[in-house]
Amino acid sequence: MSLEVVSTNLAHGGVQGVYKHASAATQTDMTFSVFVPKHEPGEVLPVVWYLSGLTCTQANVTEKGEFRAACAELGLIFVAPDTSPRGVEVADDPDGAYDFGLGAGFYVDATQEPFACNYRMWSYVTEELPGLLAQNFPVDRTRQSIMGHSMGGHGALTIGLNYPDRFRAVSAFAPIVAPAQVPWGQKALSGYLGEDQAAWRRHDAVALIEDGARVPDLLVDQGDADTFLAEQLRSHLLEQACADAEIPLTLRMQPGYDHSYYFISSFMADHLRWHAERLKA
Amino acid sequence: MSLEVVSTNLAHGGVQGVYKHASAATQTDMTFSVFVPKHEPGEVLPVVWYLSGLTCTQANVTEKGEFRAACAELGLIFVAPDTSPRGVEVADDPDGAYDFGLGAGFYVDATQEPFACNYRMWSYVTEELPGLLAQNFPVDRTRQSIMGHSMGGHGALTIGLNYPDRFRAVSAFAPIVAPAQVPWGQKALSGYLGEDQAAWRRHDAVALIEDGARVPDLLVDQGDADTFLAEQLRSHLLEQACADAEIPLTLRMQPGYDHSYYFISSFMADHLRWHAERLKA
């Protein structure tokens, strides 16, 4: 599978790259970024997946995430995929809304037309991109973890809960924890997966936990000044589900923080240290 | 003087703000950013000035500079002005080039028409904005330092050399060190100040040092893969001038680094620690 190098820049002693490839999963070109810290020849490194939120591409976290200093210090590869297929022939929200279609793939494989052809972000993030990464970067596939923000926090939680043997750590910044119970999620899951809510449960962190999915522990940071908290994020639903399932959840309500990358970057190094402890255990 | 709050976001325990005001110096609205770390009521903090390079606004370093974690740890206020006056009535490069006019004020007070009315970045950065800052933020005016990148490195060096009593530390990332000897600088200084090169010397770090200006020491990081190094930056000219004048210059040629914010952000924390040592001495 051929990989086009969009850009590489030396940063914090490692290489921050942006790459493009023709995706079999989405039938479009896909762009992603990878930071590889300085390492010995032949050495393989643990990898942290970062899934972004609504409206974002790989660029937002790459430019504003403040992850490179900690990844360099801890020896972690950091991968950031895009949030949806893109291109003029890719179906979008009929009204051009920001919360569905382009920039809003919700990390599912769509079954509904006209989205089923391209909107296969679940397969892309869980199958295709991991393979591509292993072929092209010095990753240790036995040491992977996943984190994300907002819609990407939803992605990290649901992928982490579906693949507990693959990911040694799962964390999130301001995640959508129960998409079936909030407007953003209801719009996306019905649009991509249809009205049968049974098909939604594999893509809803709270439902997955109710249905028996387990991870060793979870770390979630949530700003209490986040304007999406009450209607869309509702972290207390995850708190309740984890309590019922006896999953140790560290939910930190961060006073005064909002939903922006100013919030994410403030706690990024904390999350990476938490991941590194579990990746190197 | 009234200040409009464009945005404030909590970050790394402090407040990252963006502000706008009607500038008397430039006769336009001007936008700048300030990060104020968490502090005790009534406490005043040392302030680091950061001057940006060609094409930038205050936003580039604010989003990509990775300065907040170190400023929070070290208790430093970080101020980032824009790089020129802006507005539909402000004169620009006749060809719309990136290296003159909008986004390219070069930190001088223009004497040539049609630039003399608005292009007064020297007065703005050295007089008006310091006053505004003192009125609105908890700054300790006796503890100030200055740094910058590229054209902003030129600004930091020339302002630092002109005001050695005001700034306790001066550093730069990939600065233009001798504008009178390089194409970017020759275009800007002739365009803003006219053809009489005597008027340029106050705005040329190497000429200032030749003419007797002194600072206690200087820190400069320069990527050796910076495509502007040989033609526009020419850091060896500063090295020679400092050697002749016995100014201790720490010039670090950083192997493999380019001219981007990936380079700046890699060494930002180093610079801030170097500033903090001098600001708190």
Q: What is the ipTM of this complex?
A: 0.94
Q: What does the CA dihedral B193, B82, B248, B277 come to, rounded to 10 degrees?
A: 150
Closest chain B residue to the Cα of A12, Cα to Cα: B266
Per the prediction, chain B carries an average pLDDT of 97
Beta bridge mates, A81 = A32
Q: Supply φ then ψ for residue A189, to 5 degrees.
A: -70, -35
B124 CB-near residues (< 8 Å, 6+ apart): B23, B25, B26, B30, B81
CA distance A92 to A101: 4
Q: Which of A10, A68, A265 sits opposite B257 (nearest CB)?
A: A10
Which H or E element spans position B271? helix B261-279
Read off the pLDDT of residues B90-148 as tens digits, 9 standing for 90 and up.
Answer: 999 999 999 999 999 999 999 999 999 999 999 999 999 999 999 999 999 999 999 99
CA distance B76 to B79: 10
Look up A82 and say whether it is catalytic. no
* Confidence (pLDDT) at B2: 84
Indicate if the pLDDT at residue B234 is higher than 90: yes
Judged by CB atoms closer than 8 Å, whether chains meet at A262 and B225 is answered as no
Kind of pairing between the strands at B249-254 and B218-223: parallel
Of the residues A154, A226, A235, A271, which is catalytic? A226
Look up A259 and say whether it is catalytic. yes
* Confidence (pLDDT) at B1: 60
Whether residue A85 is preceded by a cis peptide bond, meaning omega within 30 degrees of 0, is: no
Read off the pLDDT of residues B138-159 as tens digits, 9 standing for 90 and up.
Answer: 999 999 999 999 999 999 999 9
Read off the pLDDT of residues B73-92 as tens digits, 9 standing for 90 and up.
Answer: 999 999 999 999 999 999 99
Beta bridge mates, B254 = B223
Contact of B128 with B24, CB cutoff 8 Å? yes
The pairs formed by B228-234 with CB atoms below 8 angstroms and a separation of 24 or more are B228/B150, B228/B174, B228/B259, B229/B174, B231/B182, B231/B183, B232/B176, B232/B182, B232/B183, B232/B184, B232/B185, B233/B150, B233/B174, B233/B175, B233/B176, B233/B177, B233/B182, B234/B177, B234/B178, B234/B181, B234/B182
Q: CA distances (Å), A64 to each of A8, B46, B55, in order?
A: 17, 25, 19
pTM: 0.96
The stretches of chain A forming alpha helices (DSSP H) are: 58-64, 68-74, 121-123, 129-136, 151-162, 183-193, 205-210, 235-245, 261-279
End-to-end CA distance of chain A: 33
Q: Which of B10, B63, B257 sits opposite A64 (nearest CB)?
A: B63
Q: CA distances (Å), A171 to each of A57, A153, A249, B127, in order?
A: 20, 8, 10, 47
Contact of B262 with A9, CB cutoff 8 Å? yes
Averaged pLDDT, groups of 10, chain A, 281 residues long: 92 98 98 98 97 98 98 98 96 96 98 97 98 97 98 98 98 98 98 98 98 97 98 98 98 98 98 97 86
Judged by CB atoms closer than 8 Å, whether chains meet at B13 and A66 is answered as no
Closest chain A residue to the Cα of B13, Cα to Cα: A266
Contact of B238 with B205, CB cutoff 8 Å? yes
SS3 A104: strand
Residue type, A211: D
Burial level of A182, CB count in 10 A (0-12/13-18/19+)?
buried
Task: Tell me the percentage of chain A whose pLDDT exceeds 90.
Answer: 99
CA distance B252 to B224: 10
Q: Supply φ then ψ for residue B169, to 5 degrees.
A: -150, 145
Asked whether the CA dihedral B250, B253, B257, B259 is positive or negative, the reply is: positive
Q: Which of B9, B69, B258 sits opposite A260 (nearest CB)?
A: B9
Closest chain A residue to the Cα of B256, Cα to Cα: A10
CA distance B130 to A120: 53
CA distance B28 to B85: 6
* Confidence (pLDDT) at A2: 84
Asked whether the CA dihedral B62, B65, B67, B69 is positive or negative, the reply is: positive
Radius of gyration of chain A (CA): 17
* Confidence (pLDDT) at A230: 97
